[in-house]
Chain A
């Protein structure tokens, strides 16, 4: 009984303990240096083309993008439980071009609106009392953002 409780608690704890992988490599644009314009973020964060398959796995991974927490995506209908905090991402590439998608995923506060609840995935503009495990780290690495953007670009209707 005690063990069952302990294990359950540990499982919950570890679900959120997934530390960030966002350690940037020298060639990447640093989170604070990303150039946002009215057209979005035009320049790749890494100079390396995004891989849509990698992007799909980052998208659904609960410790990485966890995008399904808030967005439904019919292209991933095999995955259980799609949230609806944000709009469904079906056909999102018909609504936004790559530069705009990069801006939204990099820092939604700049790419969408200041008061959106969507986290900034490559931004150090975070909330109060940041857990020190995550100090100076972004949720996703620059390449993971590029991969997710490449995946989003495949979502056409």
Chain B
């Protein structure tokens, strides 16, 4: 008898959580401190941004998920960052070099770098992100094969490089090369409704930011924490994988990783998170 009462009270409480909505679903008003360093999780939006304030996805996660990110020892993504460090020091390719052979200690040579990608690649005449820069160095400087998307150690090495920018506010220089026109293209894509469900990125991450979509608390869809550690995948997830997942969820076909479409989207979405600290590897549900 007692048990039934407890259970139904619990069910009612849970139902309330679902129905109560906004009050419960507001992004939290809390500070993210990682290993003693305070992160910027709320920043004044750049001019022309649809929001006044740019918010880290961390503010939208549950108390348990948020806690995991606050300490290198509890962050399950840090194991893969360590794998990235091992790759950094590993000799590969015909030139007999490792990343460290040229770049030395990443804590110095890569400090803050990850906060300012994508950059303009003048040779390729298109934007370059960390993953593509790694491939470029592997091919041109090491005589090694480029990594296939999400394979080899791409996510781990990317996360290791981005971790060296922990806390650094995201900013990209759109005046480089043609980056501005890629930004425009990315913006178009952001507002294009796709798939059978006929939704754009903005339908969820702008028009309904802060709302609950079934069990998920909709954030601004920021990428300052990528590659992120997703509890659901029990591993690191790359930006392009996340983009593809969100597009697929609209029941649309999704572009290839590093395609013009996804690079444009990365440029634009990075800009939407201007001012937020790099949180890599962020922990998400």
Chain A interface residues toward B at CB < 8 A: 1, 4-5, 8-9, 12, 16, 20, 62, 66, 68-70, 72, 74, 77-85, 88, 109, 117, 119-120, 125-134, 137, 139
Contacts and interface: CB of A to CB of B under 8 A. Distances in A.
Given A80-B215, A81-B214, A128 B199 contact: no
A46 B121 CA distance: 57
Contacts of B141: none
A8 B252 contact: no
B116 interface: no
Contacts of B25: 84
B194 A78 contact: no
B251 A134 contact: yes
Given A4-B234, A81-B215, A117-B207, A74 B197 contact: no
A16 B211 CA distance: 21
A133 B195 CA distance: 11
| Interface size grouping (class) on chain B | 35 or more
Nearest to A82: B18
Given A66-B214, A119-B198, 11 more contacts: A1-B234, A5-B233, A8-B233, A78-B15, A79-B18, A120-B198, A126-B197, A127-B198, A130-B194, A131-B195, A133-B251
Contacts of A70: 213
Contact of A83 (B15, B196, B212, B235): B212
A126 B212 contact: no
A14 B45 CA distance: 37
Contact of A131 (B11, B18, B204, B248): B248
B92 interface: no
B22 interface: yes
Contacts of B251: 16, 130-131, 133-134
B198 A74 contact: no
B42 interface: no
Nearest to A80: B14
A142 to B, nearest CB: 16
B109 interface: no
Contacts of A127: 192-200, 250, 252
A129 B233 contact: no
A100 B192 CA distance: 28
B199 A119 contact: yes
A128 B15 contact: no
